[in-house]
Structure 1
Amino acid sequence: MPLFSTRLASSGRRAVGAVMLAGALAAPLALAAAAAESWLGLQVTYADRGYAFTPWPAIELRKVTIRTAQEINIGRAWVTPDWAEWLTSLRTNRIKVRTDEVTATPAALARLGTIDGKSSYKVSTLAFDRLKLRLGDGTLDLPAGEMDFAPDGTLAHVRIRMGDKLTFEAAPAGDKLNVLVQAGQLKWAGLPVFLFDSVAAQGVLDDQQLVLDRIGANGDGGAVSGRLRLTLTDRYVMDGELKLASLRARDFLSRTYPRTTVQGDLNALVKFAGAGTTFEELGASLTSSGTFVIKAGAIDRLGLLEGMRKASAGPAGGGLTRFETLEGGFSAPAGKPVSVSIRRMDAGAMHSSGAFVLTDDGQVRGNMSGTLRLPGGEVSTRGFSLTGKVDSPTLEVR
């Protein structure tokens, strides 16, 4: 067959396919010829329209704009009728939409939860490959998900699954979005000491920031609660606090210092803050500080009692130091050693305090002091230097 005949045949097949596609869609979805219509009571415009198989017949719209006070922009959208309704009643004004990328502010999405006027079509679902939320001067990039709409055509909620264990949901609330984040297990490199199980976080997303003010999780045999705020200016800015209740101290600390010698029932208040142009930079910049109380615990290889009994200067022996209560605070600037203060450690007749720093490789450097009340009523006081590593600390009587 001559080349021009082959091209003609191919062109003819495409033309026939286009005609069949147009015919399939014409009855259930007769979109207006003009590049404007209304969804959800809002004006919708687009630059161009064609036909496609995705794999079902669909009308393809390009450069779509949903006009709220703050526009919602869509690169490409593939529109199909609600086939279930069409096949049962032979008529429908409900449509399903799939898009490549949706760009919007939280307030614009929340506006989809209201009806401004009569709609040409009611959207039942809108699936997207990417969602870009404009917050302040920045953009929060989210992966694929979908929007479900109520029977009246208003937005019911947005649902995004991030991997196998994390889901993000949002629903209109005035000019904001109520947010729910859930995860089976969550660990973030920015706060490596935390390993959360069964996380649920609720909050609000507006055009400036995400605030999760009700965070609840399990971890290390105890409970974690707190709040988090993420603001976007020219970079990500985060701050928040977490309360730890009855966590196993050894499990919690071993994620930073694998051979920790501390055990007990840990309660703490941890505050953190950081900023970065990416989430990786944000994680690397996080600083944290807080207070802690460990109950009914022990420190292995720290011979405080032996040191208190020692009559002369020199290394104290090892052993297990049990205590009823250990109270203190810490500060962990990004990229710098952790500073720890022990305000009070009660171990029967012995009371101790001290301060030291911990480096990333587990080196310890600082000082301790203690008092021991003897059976006869006398009081013995000692000062110690603290060196070595976190898994094998060394006390020396000064």
Structure 2
Amino acid sequence: MMKKIRTLLFCLLLFFVLIASLPLILPLNSYKPQLEKRLSSLLQAQVQLETVAFSYQPWPVFTLNNVKIDGDAGKIEQISVPVNLFNVFQRGNSLKNVTVAGVKLRPALAFTLPKRFAALEQDRITLGDVALSKASVLLEQGELGPIDGVIRFTKNGTMDDLQLADEQGRLDVHIKPKGDNIGVIVQASSWELPLGYPVVFEKLYMSGEGSPEGLLIDDIRGEAYGGVLSGKAQLTRQTNWDLQGQLVAKGVHSEPLSKIFSPATFVSGRMDAEAQFIFRAADYLKLFAQPQIDANFLVRDGSIHNMDLVAQLRAGETPAGRGGQTRFDTLKGKMRIRDHAVQLQSMALGAGKFNAQGAVQIAGGRLNGSVSGRLQAGVLLIANQIRLSGELSKPALNSGSVARTGVQPPAPVDIEPIQ
């Protein structure tokens, strides 16, 4: 028994001595042509390596540096293959713990990766999980990324799943082969979707199918501001990038949502809404810079804050209308967003004996509009046309970015009768 243990220890010692001596006894770069030929065959592409090296990080590892795939179609800063017992005894037929850093791929190459990995099965080469770091998709202008992830393979060597996640752990993306295309599942929590305004989703789930021509998202489900959302969307690329879709919202708390557009004069209550959106730009990075949104909304049992329309009708003079609240049973209308201006049209407010109709625009930090109010008090009927105007703190536009701007203290809204 002791003899077997000593033999095993001796073999292990010999193995580590051999590993430590590899940089001295192997002219690694002399193997570069064979490696390029082998990788080109496996990936069905022209692969070029700058150098092949050996180092300790702190464990022994072979690295392939500055890998080019089909010219500028794909670039990889470094592929690292650890020299461990499993990889050595498998003699290259199976590899584990491979890491790939600094990946930059053109969309056409990225979409064909599942088929290219299928060639591994023909050569009976299997891979364990491959860790990705700083992976990006190169666009005509700029890039999408970088992001970290893991590629998982089936036992026969074909690609099973690509998982991507952000550093904060709020975004989780799974990409799977689906015939000639790819299946995409996105799950997010406490995530600010770059839709032109900083709308935060507590939970968001999206699934769809992608191809070199675009992405069809046929299932959107989410939770935001205490309500639930559902919808569909489609991203296409022809002359311009084009994202179109629909969202339906139920039971949303309107106060935090309306404060995004107007921090001073906002609406509380529970809102249902149906929205159509279009985002279009020549540059993907500017896709969300000019939102085009059309929505129908209905808010129940709420208030308009910093605006007292009833007091204005009763007083008949401007000072009485500044500040305060306007309670309502229902508030419905249409919202239209163009060029970072929010237009509220065909609005109708109902509050028992008081009702009002009107339209408002919020743009450049100002609120402007007019309302026709009507108050029935017994045999007394009060009606008037009221003009609304005032300076507001500017809404926090994100223009496709996730950065927020500061919110200033609210300013009063001027309310005056139109003579």
| 1: CA distance, partners of 2:222 / 2:413 | 33
Structure 1 length as normaliser, TM-score?
Answer: 0.77
Select which of 351, 363, 375 maps to 1:372.
Answer: 375
Select which of 268, 271, 275 maps to 1:270.
Answer: 275
Quickly say closer, same or farther: Cα 1:308–1:275, change in 2 above 3 A: same
The total of aligned residue pairs comes to 369
Quickly say closer, same or farther: Cα 1:226–1:22, change in 2 above 3 A: farther
8 Å contact kept, 2:193–2:201 = no
Quickly say closer, same or farther: Cα 1:279–1:62, change in 2 above 3 A: closer
Per-residue deviation at 1:155? 0.5
Quickly say closer, same or farther: Cα 1:82–1:214, change in 2 above 3 A: farther
| 2: CA distance, partners of 1:176 / 1:134 | 19
SS at match of 2:23: helix
Which amino acid letter does the alignment assign opposite residue 37 of structure 1?
R
Which amino acid letter does the alignment assign opposite residue 165 of structure 2?
R
| 2: CA distance, partners of 1:137 / 1:258 | 35
Quickly say closer, same or farther: Cα 1:112–1:137, change in 2 above 3 A: farther
* Unpaired runs of at least 5, structure 2: 1-19, 393-410
Matched, 1:388 2:403: no
| 1: CA distance, partners of 2:40 / 2:84 | 18
Per-residue deviation at 1:239? 2.9
* Unpaired runs of at least 5, structure 1: 1-14, 24-29
What is aligned with 1:103? Answer: 105
Matched, 1:229 2:234: yes
| 1: CA distance, partners of 2:90 / 2:216 | 46
What is aligned with 1:127? Answer: 131
Quickly say closer, same or farther: Cα 1:171–1:54, change in 2 above 3 A: farther
Matched, 1:339 2:343: yes
Quickly say closer, same or farther: Cα 1:84–1:340, change in 2 above 3 A: farther
| Pairing 1:16-27 to 2, within 5 Å after superposition | 17-20=22-25
Moved more, 115-124 or 161-170: 115-124
8 Å contact kept, 1:85–1:92 = no
Residue-by-residue CA offset, 1:143-188 (whole Å, 9 max, x unaligned)? 3333111111011111222231223221111111111222222225
Residue-by-residue CA offset, 1:267-326 (whole Å, 9 max, x unaligned)? 22233323345555333222323121110011234333234445xx64373343211110
Structure 2 length as normaliser, TM-score?
Answer: 0.73
Matched, 1:177 2:182: yes
What is aligned with 2:47? Answer: 46
Matched, 1:317 2:337: no
Quickly say closer, same or farther: Cα 1:84–1:157, change in 2 above 3 A: farther
Which amino acid letter does the alignment assign opposite residue 388 of structure 1?
G
| Pairing 1:1-398 to 2, within 5 Å after superposition | 17-20=22-25, 33=34, 35-37=36-38, 43=44, 46-48=47-49, 50-53=52-55, 55=57, 56-58=60-62, 60=64, 63=67, 65=69, 73-75=74-76, 78=79, 80=81, 83=84, 85-86=86-87, 93-95=93-95, 96=98, 98-104=100-106, 105=108, 106-112=110-116, 114=118, 118-133=122-137, 140-164=144-168, 165-188=170-193, 190-233=195-238, 236-276=241-281, 278=283, 281-309=286-314, 314-315=317-318, 317-318=320-321, 319-335=324-340, 337-361=341-365, 363-376=366-379, 380-389=382-391, 392-398=412-418
Per-residue deviation at 1:189? 5.6
Q: Identity of aligned pairs, percent?
A: 19
Which amino acid letter does the alignment assign opposite residue 392 of structure 1?
P
Quickly say closer, same or farther: Cα 1:387–1:353, change in 2 above 3 A: same
